[in-house]
Structure 1
Amino acid sequence: MTTENIYQAIRNWKTLIKSYQSGNSVNETEILGYLNQGTHFSVSGEEIKKWKTDLENEDTKKIHAYVGLDNGKMKFFLIDSKSDKEARFDTIIIKEFTRESPDMKLQETSSLMVSPPITSEAAINRNFRWNMFCTQWIKAQQTGDFFQLISIPFSDYELLELENDHLCTSFFGLTDDLDRKNSDFPYHIEIITVKDLTIYEMSKMAENYSTPRPPFTVDTVEDYQLLKKSGAFL
């Protein structure tokens, strides 16, 4: 895809969610269809290694996962926070939102976890919460900020210590939203990542420190040039 194609895909998502928030209830079904079109996307150890190089001298290291709609398919456009802030869009990695079984090679789980991940039970529970209450979550987004991307700490991927040819799996979950405790639906969407996932086994730990954007809190929209330059900033 060209950069302009990516811009258009991101704008397509903005157009859909803005129409829904403007009162077009028909869009609720369309949004739900896209969010359930796939179950996950995969990231390789080689891609993580490239991000590590690009973010080497940065104090804040994140991966921005933008949502876009391209020819009727939801896609994720992944870019490291440094490249995004500098508008270097040639580094964008395009991920299909798929239901195909992860093609993964199991590795030994490292014991060098430097931050406390959630357990596999918590990851499964949050993904189950997403699958069961996705419709209720969409209804809660009619007012306020409907996400256009999810900001993922690079450590969520780096701590997995993947070999170049290995894949990890990233999927949606719903987690407590401390800023919306008085809301009728105090949860926000997140991306959870697991190192190993087969029909028989799942990693005992998962990473889940991602945050939907907007709103912009500790960071600013200037850190998200792909959102601005695509014309999709809400």
Structure 2
Amino acid sequence: MADFSGKTALILGGSRGIGAAIVRRFAQAEARVIFTYAGSAEAAKRLAAETGARAVQADSADRDALTAAIAAQGPIDMLVINAGTLAIGDPLTLDADAIDRMIDINVRAPYHAAVEAARRMPDGGRIIVIGSTNGDRIPFAGGAAYAMTKSAMQGMVRGLARDFGARGITVNSIQPGPTDSDMNPADGPMAEQMHSFMAVKRHIRPEEVAELTAYIAGPHAAMITGSMQTIDGGFAA
């Protein structure tokens, strides 16, 4: 188990699902944990009380608010960018504003957050983006814009890994497949279709994503950077 004693971790989008599992995992490893939330105030309050983490309200779609919230935390050893949103459907009828908001949250926010955190991040820090296996494979109709945002993350991760590599700061993406969460429940209407694409035919548990995140944030992953770490049960195989 990784020991994050004396280190500060900031998880963007940490109140529910994968983000909450990451908050719990890093808190168990003795990190000083801060997490952001947008609208889930009650869930954030419960998680903070459970873990001893500190909750900060910040909308990832608001660049100025997000970067100000990151700057206010001082030096951050580990940044995990989990905040994300999903808009799928017929591209001819999908609301354009919903697509633009998804781009703001899934693409613009991770870039500006990573850059802002890196300004004060100590050498040897970690920047981890929670992407999606749909950055590699989109086997169903209606996911073009969502897949575009997740593929954009891949280019960002590769580029920032080179930008920050001289300081020993690693930048990686973790790409979950179908994960049991409010956005994509294991008993939801699309579960059977998603499992049909997978070698291991079940949803991923948020705790499994959190364990991989902790490993990439730990000392044994110092030479893993610019990578896409896929955890998808063979969805993209």
Q: Settle same-fold status: TM greater than 0.5.
A: no
Higher relative contact order (Cα pairs below 8 Å, separated by 6+ residues): 1
> Which structure has greater strand proportion?
1
Instruction: Give TM-score scaled by structure 1 length.
Output: 0.26
| TM-score calculated relative to the size of structure 2 | 0.26
